[in-house]
Structure 1
Amino acid sequence: MQGESRMKRALVRSSSGYAKKYINRDLSWLEFNRRVLEEAEDASTPLLERLQFLAITSSNLDEFMGVRVAGLKDQRKAGLNKTDFTGYTPQGLIKRVMKRTGRFVRDQYRTYRELMRLLSKEGASIVSWEELTPSQGEAMKTYFQDIVYPVLTPMAVDISRPFPLVHSREVYLAVVLRPLNPIPRTDERNFCAIVQVPSILPRTVLVPGRRNSRKQSYLLLEDLIKQHIGLLFSGYETEAVHAFRITRNSDLTLNEEEAEDLLLELEKELRRRRRGLPVRLEIEKGMHPSALEMLKDELELDDDIFEIDGPLDLSFLSKFSGLLTGYDHLRYPKVEPAYPAEFEDDDMLAVIRERDVLVYHPYESFEVVNDFLIDAAMDPDVLAIKMTLYRVDAHSVLVQALVRAAESGKQVTVVVEIKARFDEERNIAWARQLEKAGCHVVYGLAGLKTHAKVTLVVRREAGTLRRYVHVGTGNYNESTAKLYTDAGLFTCHPDIGADASALFNEMTGYSTPHDWKAFAVAPDALKPKLFDLIDREIANAREGMPAWITAKMNSLSNQEMIDKLYEASQAGVKIELIVRGVCCLRPGVPGLSENIRIVSIVDRFLEHSRILAVAAGGAEEVYISSADWMTRNLTRRVEVMCPVYDRGLREMLLSLLRLNLNDNVKARELKPGAGYERVTLEGIPLRSQFESADIPLWKTVGMRISANERIAPE
């Protein structure tokens, strides 16, 4: 009780008075997206990569609006006025979020204009119709008539034709018309219509270049349609055409307990999501008052309207930057993932029988995971394969391997998380394909998302069975594995194998909670395990023994976890955290968190691995996990934290953590006032992602230790 009172008194003074003990989750997320925008603003970042970062900020903001802001609006509509643990009511937080978002959007488009100016100097540009030569205009007109016009659908809005369904995150044109031959008593009336800019066509259209010119010019599809909009409305004069875009509530509400068929229930909910309530309206600057009034009335939005000085939805810049040819000097140098040296021998399972192997993507190829499944599918002595799938690539080699295994008579069990947000439809399709092939497909446990990343292979060997396990921090997705940093462990350690079997039994059957030997599994056992580890460090600190915690994750927002870290800090435990995104803990506050340091790294690759290391009285325990330290991960998901038993592999992961903490190029440190500051560059520049690219340098050390002091799996 006394410690709790001391924590409540330990508040950091800010310029506006006393700040709260915790940082709000949504405001912290906006700070994260701001750090992404800073990469787009950074002149040292290659120009086309800056466009990519700007596109990411746009798609990030879309999801934030459709999920987090939508949720706050639902709370406000329900009349909830209770403050959250960071001290905000839904109404108060919405005001703060929207104010900051308005400033952020203005900075986005200021950055967009600057990047377009710099790109034009390099010989590539997005041009307006007025900048085209007559011959270019004719070419664009032909493209419109042959490719664009046939897929356009003008939708009038009047008494007999009600306002159509406007899809979330799609660009539309609001058209204000006046009849060429006015109807009596309506000659002062404006007619309105809507035209969708077809998302099935490229957003940018290459303009034929001038003779002997190397410049690449592109015209936005909506500008091309605007120029020829009159062809859709014969007998009317076009008074104004402006783009708009809405974001709908994208969250899903499933009654899993009463659903007879979860797959069918989810499909129904996905259809309902298309009609979710609008939470944001983006309009082109200078929109005609009649069009704006129509949109406000039909969408029932009086506020949360963003007037945009530029093209709507900057996420198109991601594909646009990829279209530009001959500009590799404006991109990051390519990183070719290395195939792990440990598996250069063809027999992967033989290697895993001999020693545990750690792989680190994207520097090491995800092909090794594919090969693990392919080899298992083809091996006549493999009896069973069990796997969790959360987000899967559109052309997944892993799924095809599972299909092949099932068709060859193996027992294949796949836990497919069909509720993975925005991947629901793809995962439903995969689930049906796997079922058709004869796999036993499970959709997880009611009320919980299955977020663990585990593969189990059971093989018959010399009259007994041996379990081979892969545990990862990231999704089984070949595409994102090239863009995200993630760790994966291959092992046949008997305790890990037994726990993997128990985990799948719990997810597919009615097994009682397992007495975990190696794993810590959410929602029941992960948080208690983390608390036990922290409590042990607290006890060791009080005894004068080595006591520290180093952890890496995407987000930290669970109040109980934050309070436990505050407690550890007050006991003298040194805590260093690498938290890429949301962080509700306020570090460096005297009497509360002065022993806690937090850094965030935003760079070329998305920092995605979850790693925990503790002093353990000098024994240095290390774990990898699928879970962030958020309430949803610790209490509403199936997550796994797995120990790394091999000393050499532990040393590899500790090297990675130290590398991140010593980054003085792309690291930003969270300050007590909740702002982030770039780490001061002292001495030799160290950019952790680029240093990590030289994997053999640090991995060889760990492999040497492993060879000499390997903990045998049997």
Structure 2
Amino acid sequence: MNKTLAYKYIDREKSWLAFNARVLQEAGDTSVPLLDRLRFLGIFSNNLDEFFRVRFAAIRRLSLTGITGEKYLGGISAQQLVKDITEIVIEQQSESLRILNIIESELETKNIFIITEADISIEQEIFLKDFFIQKVSPELVTIILNDLAEFPVLKDTSGYLAIKLVMKKDDEVRYAVIEIPKTINRFVVLPSHDEKQYIILLDDVIRHNLNNIFNIFDYESVSAHMIKITRDAQLDIDSDLSKSMIEKISLSVKDRRIGEPVRFIYDQLIEEDTLNFFLDKMKIVSTDSIIPGGRYHNRRDYMDFPNLGRFDLLYESKPPLPIPGLSLEGSMLEKISEKDYLLNAPYQSFSYLTKFLREAALDPKVVSIKITLYRLAKNSQIISSLINAAKNGKKVTVQIELQARFDEASNISYAEQMQLEGIELIFGIKGLKVHSKICVIERVENYKIKRYGFISTGNFNESTAKVYTDVTLFTSHQQILKDIMRIFEFFDINYRVHRYKHLIVSPHYTRTKFVKLIDREIIHALAGRKTHIKLKMNSLSDFAMIDKLYEASRAGVKIQLEVRGICSLIPGIPGMSDNIEAISIVDNYLEHSRVYIFGNAGQTEVYISSADFMSRNLDGRVEVTCPIYDQDIKKELIDNFDIGWKGNVKARFHSHKFDNKYRPRNHNPIFRAQLETYRYYEKKLEDITKKEKIA
């Protein structure tokens, strides 16, 4: 038996690395437009950075304590997992470099050339001389290291050039470090020539000007090789009662920049003495992940590679569609008072959500707005609408999660803005992140309060809504909205456990409710009734929930799982998971919505949720799962799931082998799920237009 199958679960870290390998597959897929392949390469690198800053850092901490941690890691020791991760990442880094070289060669066939300092022409030399003097030189931070009493802190979000200067006098060696400025685009577009377009990396612009930078030194030779450090990004928040939550998070974010190193990447062509100098001075030891790489690191910057006006080398941009029956010009509240509506972004316009808040901010009958915020856009229209509402005399209450990882500084800034405008802020509950996506407004109608609101699977973020697939329910269902009000009461008085009639709320009820829903499917199956479970989520790693799905499989329940990222469940194992299939879709959009469908012997129930089947979502956060009562919306969500399930272009099977095999086409026509989902919404609009014409 395969060693992995000695246990019932796939290690979540290895499963996550398999997900990132799927992203890397997109970068290597020749059917993907060239510039989008570069974007996927950047996403792969960015994902890996965050993985090392958080997950690898946590495993490393555990390994250093001497505790094996097998109980929490699915049967593998922390010490072994650190080694395994490093080996997998070295292999993936090598593959990403191979793919990058192929992409660059293919770009040349399209007259796009990425050149180095060795390839600069006379005309480009003139351009770059001025560019360096005017733009680059003022931004450079260059530090001579030999005589410093203390080695400088290298930031884990920056790339550096490790410099070795061999002096003419006595062959003395001096070392220096240059931080590559993040204020300048990493990719410098050079003047085109003969219909050819040229790009040079900022790193090579600096290399080209090393003589200018070090001209005060009498050196014989100079070399520059890129290095990159990744640090433990876990926030350590003190318990000083005299400090506000904003102060505590602010200090912890500042401390993050000096977190323990967990990964060191270097140009494999670097001189051995230079490498040893930096490893020694930075106190990097063998327990850290030391990874040889290529000439360039921080490949996440490829997410922002310039398009050069070459839209023929990008995916065709699909405009977001309107929601049938819901206009952005009329009153949304008036329409929502009559029926529920569903927004599926980015297929449909996220503007409906901002329109809802703008209308509430201006409506004289609206008296209050309550909302939870997790991750926000850089220039958030959501925040603008909430401030506008406060200025118009509405009572605005915002629960903002200051510990949204890597968005802490941004959320602190927004919190301070809102405080100045008189918005009441709630900073969550000790030990519980608030990850729910909910909003409720109160409006005076006929001398009574009527509520309107929305519940979502994703963040209220206009930027990510362009690339993340998420669903949002707009509703005036008074009992559901009463439950939302109870959640805000829980934020205020969190020692009291509230009861909810419709919503399923973590940390108190989500696990038990989903167990009951699965148990009901088991009872149906054992009684010989046809039933099924269809679950769409980002991650599935909670062992108890996996065991419950295994139990359902053994009882004969057909289970279909669309899990984009981590999947610790092993599908298709005889006697354990025969009736379970699990796929992952990685395509132009990031699959982010959570939709849970239970067949219930023909009386299908559908839920949308902010929660994945992970222990932290079920037990350690405030999450909200909402039932769908509108029959049309229920059908729409089931249709959406089934479209994804039919995908035979971007769907891969989850497996303990981590081989990311594509779902076979079996002579069926090409069916790209995300494209077919867009067509599904186009057809809905066409059908409604036809009916209106007939009417």
Asked whether the two chains share a fold, i.e. TM above 0.5, the reply is: yes
- Displacement of 1:596 after TM fit? 0.7
- Displacement of 1:149 after TM fit? 1.4
Give the alignment of 1:208-219 within 5 angstroms.
208-210=191-193, 213-219=194-200
Q: Which residue pairs with 2:273 in the alignment? A: 290
Distance 1:672 1:178, change over 3 A: closer
Distance 1:542 1:54 in 2: 47
CA shift digits 1:217-268 (9 cap, x unpaired): 1111111111211222212314322111111111112246857411100111
CA shift digits 1:477-527 (9 cap, x unpaired): 001101011111011112211101101111133472221111000011111
CA shift digits 1:46-79 (9 cap, x unpaired): 1111111111000000001111111111112222
Give the alignment of 1:272-351 within 5 angstroms.
272-303=255-286, 304-320=289-305, 323-344=306-327, 346-351=330-335
Distance 1:268 1:136 in 2: 45
CA shift digits 1:139-162 (9 cap, x unpaired): 212211222112223211123453
8 A Cα contact 2:42 2:300, kept in partner: yes
1:409 equivalent in alignment to 2:393: yes
8 A Cα contact 2:151 2:282, kept in partner: no
Q: Any gaps of 5 or more consecutive residues in structure 1?
A: 1-12, 708-714
The 3-state SS of whatever aligns with 1:384 is strand
8 A Cα contact 2:347 2:681, kept in partner: no
1:450 equivalent in alignment to 2:434: yes
The 3-state SS of whatever aligns with 1:208 is strand
- Pick aligned residue for 1:123 from 106, 111, 129: 111
- Displacement of 1:409 after TM fit? 1.1
Please, what TM-score do these two structures have when normalized by structure 2? 0.95
Q: Which residue pairs with 1:240 in the alignment? A: 223
Q: Which residue pairs with 1:32 in the alignment? A: 19
Distance 2:362 2:300 in 1: 41
Q: Which residue pairs with 2:640 in the alignment? A: 656
Q: Which residue pairs with 2:476 in the alignment? A: 492
* 2:212 maps to amino acid: L
8 A Cα contact 1:240 1:288, kept in partner: no
- Pick aligned residue for 1:617 from 601, 615, 623: 601
* 1:492 maps to amino acid: S
The 3-state SS of whatever aligns with 2:459 is coil
1:111 equivalent in alignment to 2:99: yes
Q: Which residue pairs with 1:369 in the alignment? A: 353
CA shift digits 1:659-708 (9 cap, x unpaired): 1111111111223545432111132221110011124356579999xx9x
Give the alignment of 1:59-458 within 5 angstroms.
59-85=46-72, 86-180=74-168, 182=169, 187-210=170-193, 213-233=194-214, 234-237=216-219, 238-255=221-238, 258=241, 260-303=243-286, 304-320=289-305, 323-344=306-327, 346-458=330-442
8 A Cα contact 1:176 1:290, kept in partner: no
The 3-state SS of whatever aligns with 1:350 is helix
The 3-state SS of whatever aligns with 1:514 is coil
Q: Which residue pairs with 1:564 in the alignment? A: 548
Distance 1:699 1:446, change over 3 A: farther
1:49 equivalent in alignment to 2:36: yes
The 3-state SS of whatever aligns with 1:676 is coil
Q: RMSD across aligned C-alpha pairs, in angstroms?
A: 1.9
Distance 1:430 1:163 in 2: 35
Distance 1:607 1:517 in 2: 30
Q: Which residue pairs with 2:7 in the alignment? A: 20
Q: Which residue pairs with 1:9 in the alignment? A: none
1:693 equivalent in alignment to 2:678: yes
8 A Cα contact 1:469 1:496, kept in partner: no
Please, what TM-score do these two structures have when normalized by structure 1? 0.93
* 1:220 maps to amino acid: L
8 A Cα contact 1:457 1:469, kept in partner: yes
CA shift digits 1:7-59 (9 cap, x unpaired): xxxxxx33x68542110000001100011111111111111111111110000
CA shift digits 1:375-419 (9 cap, x unpaired): 000000001000010000011111111001111111100000010
8 A Cα contact 2:4 2:656, kept in partner: no
Distance 1:256 1:243 in 2: 39
Distance 1:327 1:269 in 2: 43
Distance 1:511 1:679, change over 3 A: same
8 A Cα contact 2:507 2:620, kept in partner: yes
8 A Cα contact 1:580 1:607, kept in partner: yes
8 A Cα contact 2:187 2:199, kept in partner: yes
The 3-state SS of whatever aligns with 1:658 is helix
* 1:274 maps to amino acid: R
Distance 1:697 1:537 in 2: 34
- Displacement of 1:371 after TM fit? 0.3
The 3-state SS of whatever aligns with 2:404 is coil
1:533 equivalent in alignment to 2:517: yes
Distance 1:61 1:672 in 2: 21
- Displacement of 1:572 after TM fit? 1.1
8 A Cα contact 1:613 1:621, kept in partner: yes
Distance 2:242 2:686 in 1: 53
8 A Cα contact 1:460 1:466, kept in partner: yes
Q: Any gaps of 5 or more consecutive residues in structure 2?
A: none
The 3-state SS of whatever aligns with 1:339 is coil
CA shift digits 1:69-115 (9 cap, x unpaired): 11111112222123135111110101111111110000000000000
Q: Report the more deviating stretch, 140-149 or 232-241.
A: 232-241
Q: Which residue pairs with 1:639 in the alignment? A: 623
8 A Cα contact 1:81 1:90, kept in partner: yes
8 A Cα contact 1:651 1:702, kept in partner: no
* 1:319 maps to amino acid: D
Q: Write out the 4+ residue segments of structure 1 that deviate beyond 6 Å after TM superposition.
A: 700-704
The 3-state SS of whatever aligns with 1:293 is helix
Distance 1:245 1:697, change over 3 A: closer
The 3-state SS of whatever aligns with 1:360 is strand
CA shift digits 1:523-562 (9 cap, x unpaired): 1111111111111111111112232110100000001110
Identity value in percent: 36
Q: Report the more deviating stretch, 104-113 or 222-231.
A: 222-231
Distance 1:673 1:279 in 2: 27
Distance 1:19 1:700, change over 3 A: farther
- Displacement of 1:435 after TM fit? 0.9
